Amino acid sequence: MSEHENDVSSRGLSSLDRSNLDLETPEKPYLDSNELIINMGPQHPATHGVLRVILKLDGEKVLGTECVIGYLHRGVEKIAENRTYTMFNPYVDRMDYVAAVSNGLGYCEAVEKLLNVEAPPRAKYIRVILTELNRIASHQLWLGTHALDIGAMTPLFYTFRDREEILKIFERYCGARLTTHAFRIGGCQYETYAGFEKEVKNFLAFFPPKIDEYEALLTGNRIWLERTKNVGVISGADAIALGVTGPVLRASGVKWDLRKAQPYAAYSEFDFEIPIGENGDTYDRYMVRMVEMRQSLRIIEQAVNGIPEGPIMGKVPKVIKPPVGEIYHSIEAPKGELGYFIVSDGSTQPYRIRVRPPSFVNLQALDIMVRGLLVADVVAVIGTLDIVLGEVDR
């Protein structure tokens, strides 16, 4: 064990050898050996789902981690091989159940690309509005649970209360709050209900003071700063090497957002900014997400003020049989780059759908981020990565 120890702490990205972590508790008396293997979860109040993290500790310091996932694996990708493209649409929501609308957007756009069909402009605007609302809702859930892990109980209730307004809009639009199935291949199925613009505009007026409220509780608070500054640092180079995307990447200083880099839906028509952090610590990730919420409000405002008239569904055949081929299409989901790789063999059912979930790839960064931190910080870092096990395990 000792020969591997130095390697583990000095090598940057190497994964732990399974034989290295001897998972039985050592027989030596407690004080003599400094190393300890601790198991967190899968049932744990702070792992945001069924995530099992095995920590190797030296006293209080974390030497390395290993994540055991798969407790929520439902075989979604295998199911896709036996469903038609339209039938598979509702399954997609269940992966990242917090940001279901984004999942639907990515899938629909990927299939549309395969079919070489474009959604009409009005549908694109509706898609953007709902996706950005979902981004705000996802970030709110993240904020509440992250603050709760660090010990502040109250922001959870505030964010959930304010999230209700968004969920009400979703419910009025498509009938569901969480797993919305909002979009269809080729556009949207439902026309915006009467009063949709008014309610969205009300939300735009209602929400900025709420963000100020959350920031008043947390941003300047000394305890929050001490718990989040310089905790879980990942450099930009490491983040790119691991394939980390989303706010985690942007907080490390890399200016990469798919909405600007490879625009999809109607994003190229809107004017918004991409927040970037400097240090890549937990505090920067927190600030990046807070600013993203405000920028989402900007996008929604521009979209809602300029929804074009027209059809909401493009020219899509009744039976969707894409030509033989494959496609990879990714969007900027609230948690990072959500990608769909679809292989079609010409029939009504896809040959293979592979989902690139952002949380799955971001979770790899956990190991790097918690090296040298104390055990209490592990919980904070898991929270700051904003993982949803539904999408990690699929």
Partner 1 sequence: MPNFIMSYLGSSVTPGEAGNQFWALMYVLIIFAGVSVAVMAMNWLERKALAHFQIRLGPMRVGPHGLLQPIADALKLMLKEDIIPAEADQFVFWVAPLIGLLASFTVYTVIPFGPSQAVSDMNIGILFMLGVSSLGVLGIVVAGWASNSHYPLIGALRSSAQMVSYEVAMGLAVVAAILMTSMKTGTGTLSMIGIVQSQQQQGIWFIFKFFPLGLIAFVIFAIAMIAETNRAPFDMAEAESELTAGYHTEYSGLRWSLFMLAEYAAMIAVSSIAVTLWLGGWMRPFPNLLHAPAWDFIFSFFPGLTFLALAAIALIGTARMPSHSFFRIQRIGLAVFAALLGFIALLLLVIAVAGRSADASLAARFNEGIGYVYWFVLKVAVFMYLFIWYRATWPRYRFDQLMKIGWKVMLPISLGVLMVTAIVGVLVK
Partner 2 sequence: MAPVATPWFFYVLAGLAVASGVAVITRRNAVHAALALIVTLLSVAGLYLMLYAPFVAGVQIIVYAGGIMVLFLFVIMLVNIERSSKERRYNRMWPVGLVAACALMGLFMTAFTKGRSLFPDRMISLPESSNTQQIAGMLYGEAGQMGQYTFAFEIASLLLLVAILGAVIMTKKKI
| List of residues contacting partner 2 (CB under 8 A) | 29-31
Q: In the complex, what is the shortest distance from the CB of residue 376 to partner 1, in angstroms, rounded to a whole number?
A: 5
The nearest distance, CB 30 to partner 2, in angstroms, is 5
CA distance 276 to 287: 9
- Any alpha helices (H) in the chain, and if so which ranges? 2-10, 76-80, 85-93, 100-115, 121-150, 154-174, 196-218, 222-228, 236-242, 247-251, 258-261, 282-305, 358-363, 365-370, 375-385, 389-393
Total residues at interface with partner 1 (CB under 8 A): 31
- 63 lines the binding site for partner 1 (CB under 8 A): no
Q: How far apart are CA 205 and CA 330, in angstroms?
A: 31
Q: Let me know the angle formed at the C-alpha of 250 by 373 and 266, rounded to the nearest 5 degrees.
A: 150
- Residue 348's closest CA among 321, 313, 380, 330? 321
Q: Shortest approach of partner 1 to residue 374 CB, angstroms? A: 6
Q: How far is the CB of 42 from partner 2 (least distance, A)?
A: 30
Task: Please list every residue from 17 through 56 that binds partner 1, using CB under 8 A.
Answer: 30, 38, 40, 44-46
Nearer to partner 1, 156 or 166 (CB): 156
Q: Is 61 in the site for partner 1 (CB under 8 A)?
A: no
Q: To the nearest whole angstrom, how small is the minimum distance from the Cβ of residue 23 to partner 2?
A: 22
Given partner 1, partner 2, none, residue 156, with its beta carbon under 5 to 8 Å by kind, binds partner 1
C-alpha distances in angstroms, 77 versus 204, 339, 340, 351, 376?
Answer: 37, 13, 11, 10, 36
The stretch among 1-9, 236-244, 297-305, 368-376 that binds partner 1 (CB under 8 A) is 368-376
Q: Does 307 bind partner 1 (CB under 8 A)?
A: no
**Which residue type occupies 47?**
T
- Could you tell which of partner 1, partner 2, none binds residue 220, using a CB distance below 5 to 8 A set by kind? none
Q: Does 375 bind partner 1 (CB under 8 A)?
A: yes
Out of partner 2, partner 1, none, which partner does residue 223 contact, by CB within 5 to 8 A per kind? partner 1
The residue among 90, 102, 153, 365 whose CA lies nearest residue 241 is 365
Nearest residue to 231 via CA among 286, 269, 268: 286
31 vs 194, which CB is nearer to partner 2?
A: 31
Cβ distance 272 to 128 under 8 Å?
Answer: no
* Residue 46 tokens, joined: 């702070």
Residues with Cβ within 8 Å of residue 66, at least 6 apart in sequence: 16, 18, 21, 53, 54, 367
Which of 29, 75 has the CB closer to partner 2?
29
- If one asks whether residue 156 binds partner 1 (CB under 8 A), the answer comes out as yes
For residues 178 and 166, the answer to whether their CB atoms sit within 8 Å is no
Among the listed residues 110, 115, 129, 148, the single contact to partner 1 using CB under 8 A: 148
Residue among 68, 205, 261, 376 that touches partner 1 (CB under 8 A): 376
Interactions with partner 1, residue window 208-247 (CB under 8 A): 217-218, 221, 223-224, 226-227
**Shortest Cβ 158–partner 1 spacing (Å):** 7
Question: Contact positions toward partner 1, by CB under 8 A?
Answer: 30, 38, 40, 44-46, 60, 147-154, 156-158, 161, 217-218, 221, 223-224, 226-227, 374-377, 379
